[in-house]
Amino acid sequence: MTRRRPAPLPPRDGLGPVRLRLHGGPVAAELRTRFGAATAAKVAAGEVVTADGTVIDDTTVLPAGAHIFLYRDLPDEVPVPFEVPVLHRDADLVVVDKPHFLATMPRGRHVAQTALVRLRRELDLPELSPAHRLDRLTAGVLLFTTRRELRGPYQTLFARGVVRKQYLARSSAEPTVALPQLVRSRIVKERGCLQAREEPGEPNAETLVESLGDGRYRLTPRTGRTHQLRVHLASLGLPIDGDPLYPQVIDVAPDDFSQPLRLLAHRLEFDDPLTGQSRTFVSERDLDAD
């Protein structure tokens, strides 16, 4: 597998630079055409560099497929009014209890208001990187590595599916199925579509669903498809309380934090890839707390 070389610009205020692939020709003119005068002005300010760190100026011409790097201008974002408690910190790892409504890392309209950027700023760890992701609406245990060279070993644990995860969820729906039950289905998530869907075919998603009584459920995923737990509970007639996507899409204002998704990444267990030590991290959040 080919590894992408490190960006030639360091993170700034918690954010790494943007990597852009060029169409070819004069760089300043292309940036002006594609992104506007404000982005093109970054060339004159000496804020745009090539992959090897060479500063681009108004005369620079690069071929199609070349990459350049620059810092983005941040959009206005609605602040997420919740702290990110640290459950564990050592030289290699930071484990936090992510709140609802906070994305794991920058994507789309969520940039500064993400766990990654906030933690880089608060902990002064510019190379902090998530070893896995939680949905923006899901709260609970989230693991980060502190240095670039550590990302691979820990991310590989999650990619191989050897990390043991347990979630808690609440559904106010009256159960009509026998539990425990191993739910197996094929889940597909298409770009641009808010919902994932189940379709016929070879199963690619497995979740053990157990009832804890009083509308509470323990979920043990054996795979990690997008929205897997939300889709599987909804398929059992047990949609998670506060879910704006399943079983139907509900429009929620960006500044409405009144109805959190009652889904919590409660427990994370794995054998440390560097030391072989057994690691266990448990959320301190209350599933029903706002």
Tell me, what's the pLDDT at 24?
Answer: 94
Residue 228's SS3 state is helix
Contact call for residues 179 and 237 (beta carbons, < 8 A): no
Name residue 280's beta-bridge partners. Answer: 269
pTM for this entry: 0.87
pLDDT per position as a tens digit, 202-214: 999 999 999 999 9
Q: Which of 19, 1, 128 is nearest to 65 (CA)?
A: 19
Separation CA 133–CA 154 (nearest Å) = 12
Mean pLDDT by 10 residues, the chain (290 residues): 69 87 95 93 93 93 95 88 97 98 90 95 95 97 96 95 97 96 96 93 97 97 95 98 96 94 98 96 92
Domain limits, the chain: 18-70, 86-282
Q: What are the start-end ranges of the E strands in 172-273?
A: 181-188, 197-199, 205-213, 216-221, 263-271
**Residues listed for the chain:** 290
What does the DSSP 8-state code read for residue 101? T
pLDDT per position as a tens digit, 47-91: 999 999 999 999 999 999 999 999 988 878 999 999 999 999 999
Query: What element of type H or E holds 168?
Result: strand 164-170
**CB proximity list for 239: less than 8 A, separation 6 or greater:** 171, 173, 230, 233, 246, 247
Separation CA 261–CA 137 (nearest Å) = 6
Contact call for residues 204 and 189 (beta carbons, < 8 A): no
Buried b (16+ CB within 10 A) or exposed e, 94-106: bbbbbbbbbbbeb
Interhelix angle 37-44/27-35, nearest 10 degrees: 150
Q: Is 135 a catalytic residue?
A: yes
Query: What is the CATH architecture assignment of 86-282?
Result: 2-Layer Sandwich (3.30)
Tell me, what's the pLDDT at 188?
Answer: 96
Tell me, what's the pLDDT at 242?
Answer: 97
Separation CA 286–CA 151 (nearest Å) = 30
Q: Which amino acid is at 9?
A: L
Please say whether the dihedral angle defined by the alpha carbons of residues 146, 147, 151 and 154, taken in this order, is positive or negative. Answer: negative
- From the list 135, 214, 243, 256, the catalytic residue is 135
